[in-house]
Amino acid sequence: MQVPFLKMHGLGNDFVVLDARAEPRALAAETIRWVGDRHRGVGFDQLITLEPAQDADVFFRFHNSDGSEAGACGNGTRCAASLILNETGRSSIAIRTIAGLLGAERLPDGTVRVDMGPPRLGWADVPLAREMDTLHVPMAADGVSDAACCSMGNPHANFFVEELSALDVFRIGPELEHHPLLPERANIGFVQVLARDHIRLVVWERGAGYTLACGSGACAALVNARRRGLVEARCTVTLPGGDLVIEQRADGHVLMSGPVATSFKGELTLG
């Protein structure tokens, strides 16, 4: 069976997009891992499946390259939303995801903004293994300690550091992703506050590993930095792949804007 796909990215956070609106395309975890293999398949951080929705323009389903499913994917939402914005010719759309209903719009400069909704801050929302203050979670690894956690529809743990380049992210990232306090694992964000409107961030993604950018991770970093009193409501978040602009509105909703790009299209041979 030949299945057409698009390869897209937001700041190098890369995606294979499958359109399953007319025909179901449920891939087994083993197939997802093969397509995600950067040597033997196409390679991606996340696979995004577009599905029909009853109460929105489209449903987006996200899978990590290890085959696990994720409730949210900020950059993937921006990329796939740009397809629906182009297709419909509309200036804004509504997207249903496992984590909730999201809004997306194209901005005059061509970038795409997604309303990721409000963060969830309770220990059971993240989730953490037991009741505790999500702003000070006793997790530590070489060079980092005292995590701030939240959910942006998916779990995030942030560590604030003086200097990001001093960290061995490839060693401590997987260690923290699998920490016993995180029953569903988490995306691990290492945050350096450069100014009250500027953050540097490196993310070790749950189920995908080191990434050039993580949209929901950038939202979580701003939310947790604000909770610690370190930044204002609007920040530029500089990731290895480039900049996102993140803003938390007075009603708590977190807005994320940045560029999207299509790399190529192709066909998967399945079965």
**Interface mask toward ligand LBFN2T5F for 52-91; x: CB under 6 A:** ----------x-x-----x--xxxx---------------
For ligand LBFN2T5F, the binding residue among 18, 149, 169, 214 (CB under 6 A) is 214
Contacts of 104 (CB under 8 A, 6+ apart): 77, 78, 81, 84, 85, 92, 93, 95, 112, 113, 114, 115
Please give the single-letter amino acid code of residue 187.
N
Is position 215 annotated in a ligand binding site?
yes
Using DSSP's 3-state secondary structure scheme, residue 175 falls into: helix
Count of residues engaged in binding ligand LBFN2T5F, rule: CB under 6 A: 20
Residue 235 among the catalytic residues: no
Instruction: Check binding of 189 to ligand LBFN2T5F (CB under 6 A).
Output: no
26 CB burial (10 A radius; 0-12, 13-18, 19+): exposed
**CA-CA distance, 187 to 207, in Å (whole number)?**
8
Identify each DSSP E strand in 161-197 by its residue range.
Answer: 187-195
**CA-CA distance, 103 to 135, in Å (whole number)?**
28
Residue 149 among the catalytic residues: no
According to CB under 6 A, which residues from 135 to 174 bind ligand LBFN2T5F? 154
Residue 34 phi/psi, 5° resolution? -65, -45
Contacts of 87 (CB under 8 A, 6+ apart): none
For ligand LBFN2T5F, the binding residue among 117, 173, 215, 259 (CB under 6 A) is 215
Nearer to ligand LBFN2T5F, 139 or 217 (CB): 217
Q: Which range, of 98-106, 213-221, 234-242, 262-270, touches ligand LBFN2T5F by CB under 6 A?
A: 213-221
For ligand LBFN2T5F, the binding residue among 6, 13, 17, 224 (CB under 6 A) is 13
For ligand LBFN2T5F, the binding residue among 14, 19, 45, 115 (CB under 6 A) is 45
Using DSSP's 3-state secondary structure scheme, residue 228 falls into: coil
Nearer to ligand LBFN2T5F, 67 or 207 (CB): 207
Instruction: Check binding of 206 to ligand LBFN2T5F (CB under 6 A).
Output: yes
141 sits in which H/E element: strand 137-141
Is position 158 annotated in a ligand binding site?
no
Distance set, CA 120 to CA 84, 94, 256 (Å):
27, 20, 16
Q: Are 199 and 225 in contact (CB under 8 A)?
A: yes
Instruction: Check binding of 207 to ligand LBFN2T5F (CB under 6 A).
Output: yes
For ligand LBFN2T5F, the binding residue among 49, 158, 187, 238 (CB under 6 A) is 187
83 sits in which H/E element: helix 74-88
Q: Which of 150, 214, 219, 235 is catalytic?
A: 214
Q: Which range, of 33-41, 51-59, 87-95, 203-211, touches ligand LBFN2T5F by CB under 6 A?
A: 203-211
Task: Give the residues lining the site for ligand LBFN2T5F (CB under 6 A).
Answer: 13, 45-46, 62, 64, 70, 73-76, 154, 187, 205-208, 214-217
**Which residues are known to be catalytic?**
73, 214
